[in-house]
């Protein structure tokens, strides 16, 4: 009798679980699982975006990008961009967050926080347009300042050798505030008494940072690294507005390549194949980041 | 050596004066307990000794050397925190060795000292565990070991037992007393728990509102409190103080364990009371009694029913007399006569 009762309540619980989880599950299927499956499916076909005619081509689209030198360059650009962006952003975010966290000048702190966070809430297109103007080689503000100081003009976005770093700097400027906030939140969870114990142990400041602070906030650092890496693999709007992948493909990145194939060259099959490559790369990168950091990250 | 002196120390947080003018001498090798209610300035005093807080005014000396400008790490002291403050990302071994690494102690000696200390506090099995995998008592031991391994002149402890359950706390109390005997180093211990203070200290510093009320041995503090505050802080239940019984604002105090339901020969006073509540503790009973002068507490092995009326007897030898300013005054013959006449009515 008891067994029957329990199984009835178990059934009710299971039903409740299904009912409450289903809206999220349905949304996930419609907007994530289905598009991924369709992406993979569509990467096996040729045909334009507007025509209903599709032809099964197997892995031809993959072959095309595999032998496309532009794709190689794009892949390399994306990796370079990601490494530079994530590296610079994280180092800056940690330095600024540690400084803000240690500073006792509340008013100054609030002002700095507001200043570095503001770019994060401005639209990427607006930021791109403003920086296009600031970095304009002849009449831009930056070069005006450089020449007024008696220095040489810097080509910024107009030269293949400096375009990528210019793009990275703009993106770091825009995003660093967000990561500073995340790191600061993590820093504030470190109990003051641990720092006091370190002080009593006569620990030099640098050693305190590397041996105590950094390990204590390592879960947040890993999280921000993963999020920043994924975001930088998907960089598109800044490239589209500021450089259109140029000059000479020096800032052409994976998502811009996908966009160009799908909407400029009218070849969604190849775009989808590149999309699948992006998906796989992001998965591998995230997996590697978690794997490499497994022994370095301290979860409490 | 590990003497500590605080001279004319003042501590102010913004406009809030926590300690006005503190003078304190702590002897080398003593087990000194700073005790008092929350906010009395005992932790602040300890933190000023460690150097984690700077005094607003006044000087602090360790071993006769002024340490106001010496950083906490160079004061040759060790502290055990209330929440242990272990480094959560390090193993027990790393936690204990961390201070030695900073001191550039060679690895071999470091390992030897860590091993030695861990054997003393019984942590050898847990050397490679992280603090999160240890129980409260084991964490407490790691915190102790971390302090001990530095072989400091002075051990400072800020309510180190308050996060432990009652049984473990009692056990750790004994262990700390033994440890103090073994090391012979100066211990300064902060607590709000009078039982801890009484059981562990050889000197108790009773504090209130940032000043020292009384500094003496536990026995002296119990037998000869210098004020109503000191009298009532030590002892459970607290001392009975009759505030309205005597003329001129004088107050009469006697401890609940010193009054008797049995008639006595020694000179005494007698009070008529009615039993309000009765708490059976096993070896003794705590009574709450209603009297003409308010509620009195009694701690005795004498059995009497709830609601019953009885006479209680308080010997003069166990009485304390306090003046209007709540300071202790001498119970001389005139006072005795006065008390006798009041209670004879």
A234 and A192 housed in the same domain = yes
Q: Which residues contact A140 (CB under 8 A, 6 or more apart)?
A: A133, A134, A156
Tens of pLDDT, residue by residue over A132-185, are: 999 988 888 999 999 999 888 888 888 899 999 999 999 999 999 999 999 999
A154 and A18 housed in the same domain = no
**Domain B237-344: which topology?**
OB fold (Dihydrolipoamide Acetyltransferase, E2P) (2.40.50)
- Calculate the dihedral angle through the C-alpha atoms of B184, B190, B192, B195, rounding to the nearest 10 degrees: 0
Taking the CA of residue B154 and the nearest CA in chain A, the distance in Å comes to 12
Q: Which of residues 73-102 of B touch A (CB under 8 A)?
A: 73-74, 77-79, 81-83, 85-90, 98-99, 102
Q: Which residues contact A252 (CB under 8 A, 6 or more apart)?
A: A70, A73, A74, A77, A239, A245, A246
- DSSP string of B309-344? EEEEEEEGGGEEEE-TTSBEE---HHHHHHHHHHHH
A178 and A226 housed in the same domain = yes
A90 and A152 housed in the same domain = yes
Q: Which residue has the tokens 């299971």?
A: A14
pLDDT at A51: 74
DSSP state of B124: G
This complex has an ipTM of 0.84
A227 and A119 housed in the same domain = yes
Rounded Cα distance between B304 and B285, Å, is: 10
pLDDT at A3: 54
Any chain B CB within 8 A of the CB of A139?
A: no
A15 and A123 housed in the same domain = no
Write down how long chain A is. Answer: 300
pLDDT for A2 beyond 60: no
- Categorize the per-residue pLDDT at A300 as very low, low, confident or very high, splitting at 50, 70 and 90: low
- Categorize the per-residue pLDDT at A104 as very low, low, confident or very high, splitting at 50, 70 and 90: confident
Cα-based distances in Å from A216 to A133, A195, B86, B226? 42, 11, 12, 49
For chain B, what is the radius of gyration of the CA atoms?
A: 24
Q: Which domain holds residue A151?
A: 68-293
Write down how long chain B is. Answer: 345
Structural domain boundaries in chain B:
4-223, 237-344
Computed from CA positions of residues B302, B303, B306, B311, in that sequence, does the dihedral angle turn out positive or negative? Answer: negative
- CATH superfamily to which B4-223 belongs: P-loop containing nucleotide triphosphate hydrolases (3.40.50.300)
Of the residues B78, B85, B145, the best mutation for testing chain A's interface (the one with the most A CB atoms within 10 Å of its CB) is B85
Average pLDDT per 10 consecutive residues for chain B, totaling 345 residues: 90 90 93 92 93 93 92 91 91 93 91 89 88 89 90 91 85 88 92 91 93 94 94 91 87 93 89 92 92 92 88 92 92 89 81
pLDDT at A4: 58
- Categorize the per-residue pLDDT at A296 as very low, low, confident or very high, splitting at 50, 70 and 90: confident
Element (H, E) at B39: none
For residue A151, give the CATH number of its domain. 1.10.3720.10
Q: Residue A194: closest CA among chain B residues belongs to which residue?
A: B85
* Mean pLDDT score, A182-203: 92
A33 and A117 housed in the same domain = no
DSSP state of B126: G
A300 found inside a domain:
no
Rounded Cα distance between B321 and B245, Å, is: 12
Cβ atoms of B11 and B41 within 8 Å: the answer is yes
Of the residues B86, B95, B98, the best mutation for testing chain A's interface (the one with the most A CB atoms within 10 Å of its CB) is B98
Cβ atoms of B156 and B2 within 8 Å: the answer is no
* Mean pLDDT score, A199-217: 92
* Mean pLDDT score, A1-22: 82
- Cis? peptide before A145, omega within 30° of 0: no
- Categorize the per-residue pLDDT at A24 as very low, low, confident or very high, splitting at 50, 70 and 90: very high
Interface touch B83/A191, C-beta < 8 Å: yes
Rounded Cα distance between B182 and A102, Å, is: 41
Cβ atoms of B308 and B274 within 8 Å: the answer is yes
Tens of pLDDT, residue by residue over A217-272, are: 998 998 899 899 999 988 999 999 988 887 888 999 999 999 998 888 888 889 99
Which residues sit opposite B206 in a β-bridge?
Answer: B35, B214
Any chain B CB within 8 A of the CB of A196?
A: yes
**Structurally, how many domains does chain A consist of?**
2
Q: Which member of B73, B81, B132 has the closest CB to residue A201?
A: B73
- DSSP string of A182-248? HHHHHHTTS-HHHHHHHHHTT--HHHHIIIIIHHHTHHHHHHHHHHHHHHHHT--HHHHHHTTT-ST
Cβ atoms of A25 and A34 within 8 Å: the answer is no
A212 found inside a domain:
yes
pLDDT at A5: 62
Cβ atoms of A117 and A180 within 8 Å: the answer is yes
Of the residues A201, A205, A214, A296, the best mutation for testing chain B's interface (the one with the most B CB atoms within 10 Å of its CB) is A201
Cβ-count burial B38-56 (b if 16+ within 10 Å, e if not)? eebbbbbbbbbbbbbbebe
Rounded Cα distance between B219 and B203, Å, is: 10
Cα-based distances in Å from A23 to A11, A16, A37, B267? 20, 12, 20, 86
Indicate the average pLDDT of chain A. Answer: 89
Kindly state the tokens that stand for B224. 């000869």
Any chain A CB within 8 A of the CB of B21?
A: no
- DSSP string of B242-310? ESSSSGGG-EEEE-TTT-BSS--SSSEEEEEEEEEEEEE-SS-EEEEEEETTEEEEEEES----TT-EE
Phi, psi of B211 (to 5 degrees): -125, 165
A235 found inside a domain:
yes
Element (H, E) at A69: helix A69-102
pLDDT at B157: 93
A73 and A8 housed in the same domain = no
């Amino acid at each position: 009798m008891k067994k029957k009762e329990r199984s009835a309540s178990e059934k009710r619980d299971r039903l409740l679980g299904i009912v409450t989880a289903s809206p999220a599950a349905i949304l996930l299927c419609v907007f994530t699982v289905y598009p991924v499956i369709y992406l993979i499916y569509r990467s096996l076909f040729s045909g334009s975006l507007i025509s209903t005619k599709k032809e099964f081509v197997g892995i031809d689209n993959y072959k095309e990008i595999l032998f496309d030198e532009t794709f190689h360059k794009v892949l390399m650009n994306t990796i370079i961009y990601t490494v530079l962006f994530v590296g610079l952003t994280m180092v800056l975010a940690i330095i600024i967050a540690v400084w803000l966290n240690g500073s006792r000048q509340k008013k100054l702190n609030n002002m700095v926080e507001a200043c570095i966070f503001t770019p994060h809430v401005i639209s990427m297109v607006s930021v791109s347009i403003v920086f296009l103007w600031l970095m304009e080689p002849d009449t831009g503000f930056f070069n005006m300042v450089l020449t007024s100081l008696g220095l040489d003009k810097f080509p910024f976005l107009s030269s293949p050798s400096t375009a990528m770093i210019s793009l990275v700097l703009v993106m770091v400027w825009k995003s660093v505030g967000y990561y500073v906030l995340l790191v600061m939140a993590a820093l504030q969870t470190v109990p003051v008494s641990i720092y006091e114990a370190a002080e009593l142990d006569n620990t030099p400041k640098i050693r305190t940072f590397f041996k105590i602070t950094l390990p204590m906030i390592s879960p947040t650092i890993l999280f921000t690294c993963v999020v920043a890496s994924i975001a930088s693999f998907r960089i598109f709007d800044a490239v589209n507005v500021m450089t259109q992948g140029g000059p000479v493909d020096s800032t052409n990145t994976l998502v811009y390549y996908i966009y160009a194939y799908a909407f400029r060259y009218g070849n969604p099959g190849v775009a989808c194949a590149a999309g699948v490559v992006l998906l796989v790369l992001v998965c591998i990168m995230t997996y590697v980041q978690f794997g490499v950091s497994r022994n370095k990250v301290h979860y409490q | 050596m590990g003497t500590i002196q605080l001279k004319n120390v003042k501590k102010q947080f913004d406009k809030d004066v926590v300690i006005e003018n503190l003078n304190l001498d702590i002897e080398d090798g003593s087990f000194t307990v700073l005790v008092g209610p929350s906010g009395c300035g005992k932790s602040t005093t300890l933190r000023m000794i460690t150097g984690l807080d700077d005094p607003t005014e006044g000087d602090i000396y360790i071993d006769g050397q002024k340490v106001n400008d010496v950083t906490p790490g160079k004061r040759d002291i060790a502290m055990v925190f209330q929440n242990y403050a272990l480094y959560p990302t390090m193993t027990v071994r790393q936690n204990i060795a961390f201070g030695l690494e900073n001191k550039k102690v060679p690895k071999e000696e470091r390992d030897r000292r860590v091993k030695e200390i861990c054997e003393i506090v019984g942590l050898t099995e847990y050397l490679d565990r992280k603090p999160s995998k240890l129980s409260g008592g084991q964490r407490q031991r790691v915190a102790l070991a971390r302090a001990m391994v530095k072989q400091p002149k002075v051990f400072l402890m800020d309510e180190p037992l308050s996060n432990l359950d009652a049984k473990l706390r009692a056990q750790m109390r004994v262990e700390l007393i033994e440890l103090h005997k073994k090391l012979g180093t100066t211990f300064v211990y902060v607590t709000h728990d009078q039982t801890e203070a009484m059981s562990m200290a050889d000197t108790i510093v009773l504090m209130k509102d940032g000043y020292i009320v009384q500094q003496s041995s536990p026995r002296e503090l119990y037998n000869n409190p210098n004020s109503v505050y000191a009298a009532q802080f030590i002892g459970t239940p607290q001392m009975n103080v009759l505030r309205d019984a005597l003329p001129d604002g004088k107050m009469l105090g006697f401890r609940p364990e010193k009054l008797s339901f049995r008639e006595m020969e020694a000179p005494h006073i007698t009070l008529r009371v009615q039993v309000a509540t009765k708490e059976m503790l096993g070896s003794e009973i705590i009574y709450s009694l209603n009297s003409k002068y308010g509620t009195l507490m009694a701690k005795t092995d004498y059995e009497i029913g709830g609601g019953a009326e009885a006479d209680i007897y308080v010997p003069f030898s166990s009485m304390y007399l306090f003046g209007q300013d709540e300071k202790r005054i001498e119970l001389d013959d005139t006072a005795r006569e006065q008390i006798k006449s009041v209670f004879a009515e």
